[in-house]
Amino acid sequence: MKKRILTGCLALSLILTSAFVANAKSENLDILTLFSSRAKNENSLWVGTFQLAFNDMKNHIIKKDIVFVKEKPTKELKGLNQGLFNKTMLNDETYYTSVGETSPEAKATIEKDIKAKFNETSDILDSLDWSKGYGKYYAYAMLKKDFEYLSEFDNLDAASFNGSKAKYNFFGITNTSNDILDENVGVLFYNGSDDYAVRLYTKNDDIVYLYRTENNQTFDKLFIAMQKEAKEYKGNRFFIDVDTLKVPNIKIKDERKYTELCNKRIKGTDLEFSDAIETIQFDLDNKGGKVKSEAAIMTKLAMAAPQISKQKPRHFDFDKTFVIFLIDKGKTNPYFALRIKDLKGLQ
């Protein structure tokens, strides 16, 4: 049982601000393109899987920055081309990528590889066109990660989240929890009842940060702010007996189709994206967490754009006197000539 050594200390009630999403294509969750993207919803999520696929498509197929004909690159597209997230930010056992020409054999190889590496099956490969053809290429990525805490947290009583009427399941540490659970938690900072952050320790040294804040800036700015506060914090960084922890169980299954990137001719090529998709599954509970994410980008030949003349129209109307010349094959002089001023009797 946890001992109450410092009864005068303030208990920490740590709540992770996150989405409670169980269904695919959630209306209240934005899946963001970039770590620096701004969300429209209060709930937002970013995972680097689509960036991995985009990097391979750019570097191995298009072989230059991807921009679209007659279209100014958006902030999101510029960010994708920068490739600030890449494979160097992951361990080899965490991800799988494949890129090349589409074919049934390529699809079968991917299925075999992800089964061997992750013991996983794909949720998206069957929905894509893998037939061979000129201009048909693919870039595929899977990110798979499981992590476990040093010890299982306690399951807590169901409670509301952010003042909700509905109640949700939580896990964490109470004053009656076993002392060993304290070792699961490291304090980054505690600046008051609405501004704090912790790290949850895992068996494989994976890092799990929980940051309580009302700040609605982009993820990149929030991460910088959290690091800054942690660096400046002068208080106790140990999770002690009177501290408590409260984190909601989370279960997300969602997808995003990047339709804004599709059916647009890529500058300097005769290609366009036919499909661009990213899926995400995320579970968090008292034992640990799981992440599974896939992304795929497929190309096809771009449809020929209609040619629109900027010249004034010309009307070749032979409805007045005109002449016809006929020249035999391989010759230079006419063998027949006719001038017509009146069509009477000629029709």
pLDDT digits (tens, 9 = 90+) for 334-343: 554 455 566 5
Structural contact between residues 138 and 296, judged by C-beta atoms closer than 8 angstroms: yes
Burial of 135 (0-12, 13-18, 19+ CB in 10 A): middle
19, pLDDT greater than 90: no
Q: What is the mean pLDDT of the chain?
A: 85
Structural contact between residues 148 and 202, judged by C-beta atoms closer than 8 angstroms: yes
Closest by Cα among 218, 263, 293, 247 to 40: 218
In tens, the pLDDT along 210-230 reads 999 988 889 998 999 999 999
Q: HSE (CB half, 13 Å, CA atoms) of 298?
A: 23
Q: DSSP secondary structure string, 43-68? A: SEE--THHHHHHHHIIIIII-S---B
Least confident of 91-100, 201-210, 274-283, 301-310: 301-310
Q: How many CB atoms lie within 10 A of CB 269?
A: 17
11, pLDDT greater than 50: no
The two three-digit tokens of residue 22, written as one number: 């169980």
Q: Is 226 helix (H, G, I), strand (E, B) or coil?
A: helix
In angstroms, the Cα distances linking 247 to 20, 72, 284 are 12, 43, 9
Can you say whether the dihedral through the CA atoms of 60, 65, 66, 70 is positive or negative?
Answer: negative
Residues whose CB falls within 8 Å of the CB of residue 135, separated by 6 or more in sequence, listed in order: 270, 271, 299, 300, 301
241, pLDDT greater than 70: yes
pLDDT of residue 186: 93
Whose tokens are 């679209």? That residue is 68
The pairing of strands 30-31 and 44-45 is parallel
The mean per-residue pLDDT over the stretch 153-180 comes to 93
Structural contact between residues 65 and 80, judged by C-beta atoms closer than 8 angstroms: no
pLDDT band of 69, cuts 50, 70, 90: very high
Q: DSSP secondary structure string, 81-134? A: HHT-S-GGGS-GGGEEEEEEE--HHHHHHHHHHHHHHHS---SSGGGS-----T
